[in-house]
Amino acid sequence: MLKDKNVILGVTGGIAAYKSVEIASRLRKAGASVHVIMTAGAQNFVTSMTFREITGNPVITTMWGEITNHQVEHIALAELADLMIIAPATANFIAKAAAGMADDMLTTTVLATKVPIFFAPAMNSNMYNNQLTQANIKRLVELGWRFIPPASGHLACGTDGIGRLPEPAEILDFVENELSHEEDFIGKKLLVTAAGTYEPIDPVRYIGNRSSGKMGYAIAEAAKKRGAEVTLVSGPSALTAPAGVKLVRVETAAQMRQAVLEFFDEADIIIKAAAVADYRVREVADQKIKKNDDELVLVLEKNPDILFELGQKKKSGQILVGFAAETQHLLEYAKAKLEKKNLDMIVANDVSRKDAGFNVDTNAVKLLYRDGTVQELPVMTKYKLANELLNMVIKL
Ligand code: CTP
């Protein structure tokens, strides 16, 4: 992946800067041409000479020196690069990047380049967990920049916690893994549904479920990053749509059905991660229901099963993926849904687990296929799982 790539390695002023020397060395061994830019802070921890020897290229330490090599003029370098890695990325540097500042060579290059940028934050746990740092990271992630999660362990400041720079080999693995997913969905149209639906009772009340939409939004984001044209049909959710994704907001199962049918024909891949309400209130009250009696009886009637309908309409070449949210008999129920709804793959989700299912950031699933194969995946973040699912979809 990294062979013949021009990589800008940004080094900022944290104690973990010494590990960047090994990152530079590994990048070079992988066949990349490495251009190091050091902030003033970084130069207190490692010398530019070390990086020059390791990379065989001039090291940029200031914006104001004499330009001796045209390749290192800041815009030129920003354009020459194939990717950028900032490791370690201090809280200060992340804040400056999030604010769009350009007060030294590294911030300037970050602002001027259009290539993928990876940040590997390393800092004290409290600084990392601070709401400001987290808000800065969130802002950058929303804009498409990538963060390599810090490791937990003993920190230079003497405490234990999150904030360690991951090992150089792990950083390179992460980068290579992300790059290998680049653009394999170009030319593919993906329709994904997310979150639960709300079924109204009266103007102020509804029947809903605990789905946050995290899984569906993660799939939309990952597919978009891999080049797909993505339509996200979402029930009510607090999440923001990933950049570049077409978002269609709906509330009820009936509205979701209508939106999905509108985009179904043109979609190559349909992933139904939404938790659709199976029933709706038969007679929705026009006015707020008053609490008069001791008992209130609501009659519910069945909603259409959208996925079942899609399975009937599916054309050859379309890939249809469903989810099965179960609290018991996971494989048995999931297999029945796979067959009944004519799916190519079903993601079986044990929602009784604390680390999986509704409203958490991780998921642990089993994938079932038409040929009877079952694949168990370990607990992972929903974003990583989204990429795993897309890997399987491409194979299908
Ligand atoms: N689904 C759907 N329309 C519905 C209900 C479910 O499209 N009215 C889809 C979901 O998006 C999901 C799959 O069907 O991809 C399975 O949903 P799930 O709630 O697990 O199963 P149900 O078919 O509703 O069956 P049950 O509630 O009895 O488990």
In the 3-class helix/strand/coil scheme, how is 215-275 assigned residue by residue?
A: HHHHHHHHHHHCCCEEEEEECCCCCCCCCCCEEEECCCHHHHHHHHHHHHCCCCEEEECCE
30 with 152, same domain?
yes
HSE (CB half, 13 Å, CA atoms) of 25? 10
CATH number of the domain bearing residue 91: 3.40.50.1950
- Structure tokens given for 85: 């890695």
- Judgement on whether residues 256 and 330 belong to the same structural domain of the protein: yes
**CA triplet 47, 11, 61: central angle to 5 degrees?**
55
85's CB contacts (< 8 A; 6+ apart) are: 7, 8, 9, 10, 23, 27, 117, 118, 120, 171, 175
* Count of CB atoms situated within 10 Å of the CB of 325: 21
Shared domain for 362 and 320, answered yes or no, is yes
Domain's final residue, options 155, 180, 205 = 180
What residues flank ligand 1, with Cβ below 6 Å? 253, 272, 274, 276, 278, 303, 305-307, 322-325, 337
Protein residue with its CA nearest to atom 14 in ligand 1? 307
Question: Do residues 228 and 242 lie in contact, with contact meaning Cβ atoms separated by under 8 Å?
Answer: no
170 with 257, same domain: the answer is: no
pLDDT at 322: 98
Is the whole-model pTM more than 0.85? no
Q: Give the nearest ligand 1 atom to 341 CA.
A: 14
Nearest protein Cα to ligand 1, atom 27: 278
Query: Is residue 172 located within the same domain as residue 107?
Result: yes
- Domain-located, residue 1: no
Residues 66 and 203 in one domain: no
Q: Please tell me whether residues 176 and 40 are part of one structural domain.
A: yes
Is the separation of the CB atoms in 332 and 356 below 8 Å?
no
Note whether 160 and 291 are same-domain residues: no
d(CA 137, CA 151): 16
Q: Looking at the structure, do residues 170 and 312 belong to the same domain, yes or no?
A: no
Task: Examine the domain organization and report whether 107 and 202 are in the same domain.
Answer: no
Look at residues 180, 205, 220 and tell me which one is the last residue of a structural domain.
Answer: 180
Residue 210 lies in a domain: yes
Q: What is the mean pLDDT of each run of 10 residues along the chain (396 residues)?
A: 93 96 97 96 96 95 70 72 96 97 94 91 95 95 87 84 92 86 88 98 96 95 93 96 94 98 98 97 96 93 98 96 94 97 96 79 90 90 88 93
CA nearest ligand 1 atom 12, residue:
323
- On whether both 202 and 169 belong to a single domain, the answer is no
Give the pair of three-digit tokens for residue 221.
């984001």
Q: Please give the pLDDT value at position 69.
A: 58
Assess if residue 109 is contained within a domain.
Answer: yes
Residue 91 within any structural domain of the chain: yes
Cis peptide before 88 (omega within 30 of 0): yes
How many structural domains comprise the chain? 2
* Residues 323 and 250 occupy one common structural domain: yes
Cβ pair 139, 155 in contact under 8 A: no
Domain that holds residue 386: 189-395
